[in-house]
Structure 1
Amino acid sequence: MDFALTDEQRSIVEVTRAFVERELVPHEEEVERTGRARPELIEQIRAKALELGLYAANMPEEVGGAGLDAVTLVLFEKELGKTSYALHYTGVARPSNILMAGTPEQRERYLLPCVRGEKTDCLAMTEPGAGSDMRAIRTRAVRDSAGAGGDWVIRGTKHFISHADEADFVILLARTGEDGAGRPTMSTFLVDLDTPGLAVHDGYRNVSHRGYTNSILDFDDVRVPAGALLGEVDKGLELAGEWLGSTRLSVAATCIGRAERALGLSVAHAASREQFGQTIGRFQGVGFKLADMATELRAAELVTLYAAWKVDQGTATDADIAMAKLKATEMLAMVADEAIQVHGGMGLMDELPLERIWRDARIERIWDGTSEIQRHIVSRSLLRPLGG
């Protein structure tokens, strides 16, 4: 088994790392202090990311993206993850790959402008009463039987919708019917944010990822044409399952990047900070913390790269990706906490990025599927073959 990176992968890592250190890290303090990433700053970052070929790196070359395979994309995401989400996820956007399921007309109107940096999308699935249980979604899309064009009329509310206040359109999951067992079925729609009846409200103040906003979307009899349907009617959950698993690998990769940064700071501090006549890294209580942090970090990285490799081989299962997301997010929580302990009181001061990494780590075990959901996916994969 060869763990060496290819020349292309090393180049991508080096270019991305330099970009993060030069163009993103210097603005972290501003985002933390103000709670926002200035639009003109994001435009500046976007222009440089486009120039370097880092923008829309997750999209295939056939639509103008970088065409990175899953393993290389994890390496890329890991470097971006070392800095503020508000800077790298809006300034170096990775459009939702569910847009690849669109018709030629939909690709022209939505996908290609996202790849070129002319538009941005947001994904609206979560509701006040529907988080992990997607079948609990109550936002409903109904065909207008009186009209001749096959329009859909949408009513409902979504919340926790990331950067919807900056997006041009929403990828919406809405209830459209029932299956043979009486269970709700869903469909996916592309809805422009300026469509009449759609209101975007400020979301909640979040302790994690300052500047990376969330919004509440209210759909009050929002009318969209038949051509707004993405994929097939009543196949929205299947479509989401087919395309959106990669976001969990993205979460895992960015967690690994932040953990690397926290560990690096901790090792440097332990090697230079002196107490009782020696550097604190020589004390077993600190040295063993560093060893545990490094071991957990390596394990999470390997699980994530293995899952990405299986994606590239076409053999990845939901459990493979769930393990990566579970391990990496829980590892980051441990590493961030121990990093603060190694630094003592200074670890909680905002002169260092550790308190931010610690705060930001908390949401990772919740969004894109909680740790409990990931464990459910893994345990189900173990028990099902035996009828359990």
Structure 2
Amino acid sequence: MDFGLSEEQEMIVETVRAFVETEIYPHENEVERSGIVPPELGDEIRRKCIDLGFYACNFPEEVGGAGLDHVTFTLVERELGPGSLGLTVFFGRPSGILMACEGEQRERYLLPAVRGEKIDALAITEPDAGSDMRGMKCAARRDGSAGSDFVLNGTKHFISHADVADFVIVFAATGEEETPKGIKKKITAFFVDRGTPGFEILKGYDSVSHRGYHNCTLSFEDCRIPASQVLGEVHRGFDIANQWLYGTRLTVAATCVGRARRVFDLALPYAAERKQFGKPIGANQGVSFKLADMITEIDAADWLTLAAAWQVDAGRPADRQIASAKLYASEMLARVTDEAIQIFGGMGLMDDLPLARFWRDARVERIWDGTSEIQRHIISRDLLRPLGA
């Protein structure tokens, strides 16, 4: 197995890294202070990403993307990871689920998203459902008086960057079915455009993680959706989510690795330069062993994530590998940021350094896109099912 990067991959890594350092880092402190990304700044980042040829690089060339394989795209996400998420969201990576578009949906949603003309958001989570997708209460019913229209009612929350989205892909219950585990909801995915009557995007909760990257609450009240805006098949939303949304967990794993490396790159020179009792603090095993553990965990998470992406590219089942990468990388980031603050001591908690921000940002990674407990469930189920357990 070749663990090296190709010349093209090296170039991509260097290009994205330079973009983050020049276009993202200079604005981070202001976004952290205000909690807001000015619209003109978001538009500027998006335009520069398009000019660079990296917008929608996770999409195939046939629809206008760069056609990167999963390993190379994971490298892109890793290099974006150290940057403020409120800013890097404009380095466009539309949701892969848009590849399920058919007919006129491609011209209306897929292609504009790939060209950077429209931004999408995914709406799954609800106040009472959380990770239980088949337990959601947001529901769409057919309106017999209007033929094939659906009428959508309910609430979604924790919907990332819906405040800057032009349309939202909403998952809603459209029926019920009997399963071996009892009655479960049938789920359908819908496109809902900003400005649709009965659809309101509300300010979400104030989060300690990723300031400037907002979560929103979505309200649907007798919101009428034409059947032409069903993504995939009616009642098959759960299948389409399983087919396309695995990539979000790889993204979380990769960005955690990138952010951990930025943290480590702050801690290492500090340990070599900061003196206590007449010698660098890195000369003490209490610090040097922390550094050894930190880099070992970062490298382990990196290879675990790239290996999962390689599995996908090879056409092999990769649910367990992706879950392992997301689980380990997100928990690794928490440990690394905590140890870095310990190395810096009191200064690690001051606003003069970004460590406190990384520490706060790290907390959400173990929750969104499937909690650590969900990832452990996926991993253990994959191990035990072949044994009949």
Aligned to 1:175: 173
Shift of 1:60: 1.2
Matched-pair contact (CA < 8 Å) for 2:23–2:45: yes
Aligned to 1:315: 316
The correspondence of residues 52-91 of structure 1 with structure 2, limited to 5 A, is 52-89=52-89, 91=90
2-side partners of 1:95 and 1:2: how far apart? Answer: 30
For 1:318-369, what per-residue CA distance to the aligned partner results, in whole angstroms no more than 9, with x for missing partners? 1111000001000000000000001111111111111111100000000000
**Aligned-partner SS, 1:179:** strand
Matched-pair contact (CA < 8 Å) for 2:135–2:184: no
2-side partners of 1:36 and 1:104: how far apart? Answer: 37
The correspondence of residues 203-352 of structure 1 with structure 2, limited to 5 A, is 203-352=204-353
1-side partners of 2:385 and 2:317: how far apart? Answer: 17
Aligned to 2:48: 48
Structure 1 stretches of at least 4 aligned residues deviating more than 2 Å after TM superposition: 179-182
2-side partners of 1:351 and 1:40: how far apart? Answer: 27
Matched-pair contact (CA < 8 Å) for 1:307–1:316: no
For 1:159-217, what per-residue CA distance to the aligned partner results, in whole angstroms no more than 9, with x for missing partners? 00011111111100000012243321100000101100011110000000000001111
Q: How many pairs are equivalent?
A: 386
AA matched with 2:160: S
Matched-pair contact (CA < 8 Å) for 1:135–1:185: yes
2-side partners of 1:199 and 1:132: how far apart? Answer: 23
Percent identity, aligned pairs only?
61
For 1:239-289, what per-residue CA distance to the aligned partner results, in whole angstroms no more than 9, with x for missing partners? 000000000000000000000000111101001111111111000000000
Aligned to 1:161: 159
Matched-pair contact (CA < 8 Å) for 1:164–1:215: yes
AA matched with 1:104: G
1-side partners of 2:253 and 2:18: how far apart? Answer: 21
AA matched with 1:235: R
AA matched with 1:68: L
2-side partners of 1:163 and 1:301: how far apart? Answer: 27
AA matched with 2:115: R
Aligned to 2:122: 123
TM-score by length of 1: 0.98
Matched-pair contact (CA < 8 Å) for 1:189–1:230: yes
2-side partners of 1:101 and 1:372: how far apart? Answer: 29
Query: Is 2:131 the partner of 1:132?
Result: yes
Shift of 1:296: 0.6
Q: Which runs of 5+ in 2 are unaligned?
A: none
2-side partners of 1:18 and 1:302: how far apart? Answer: 22
2-side partners of 1:238 and 1:179: how far apart? Answer: 15
**Aligned-partner SS, 1:315:** coil
TM-score by length of 2: 0.98
Shift of 1:316: 3.1
2-side partners of 1:350 and 1:331: how far apart? Answer: 23
AA matched with 2:169: I
2-side partners of 1:131 and 1:247: how far apart? Answer: 16
Aligned to 1:15: 15
2-side partners of 1:372 and 1:344: how far apart? Answer: 31
**Aligned-partner SS, 1:366:** coil
Q: Which runs of 5+ in 1 are unaligned?
A: none
**Aligned-partner SS, 1:122:** strand
2-side partners of 1:318 and 1:62: how far apart? Answer: 27
Shift of 1:136: 1.0
Provide the alpha-carbon RMSD of the alignment: 0.8
2-side partners of 1:71 and 1:316: how far apart? Answer: 15
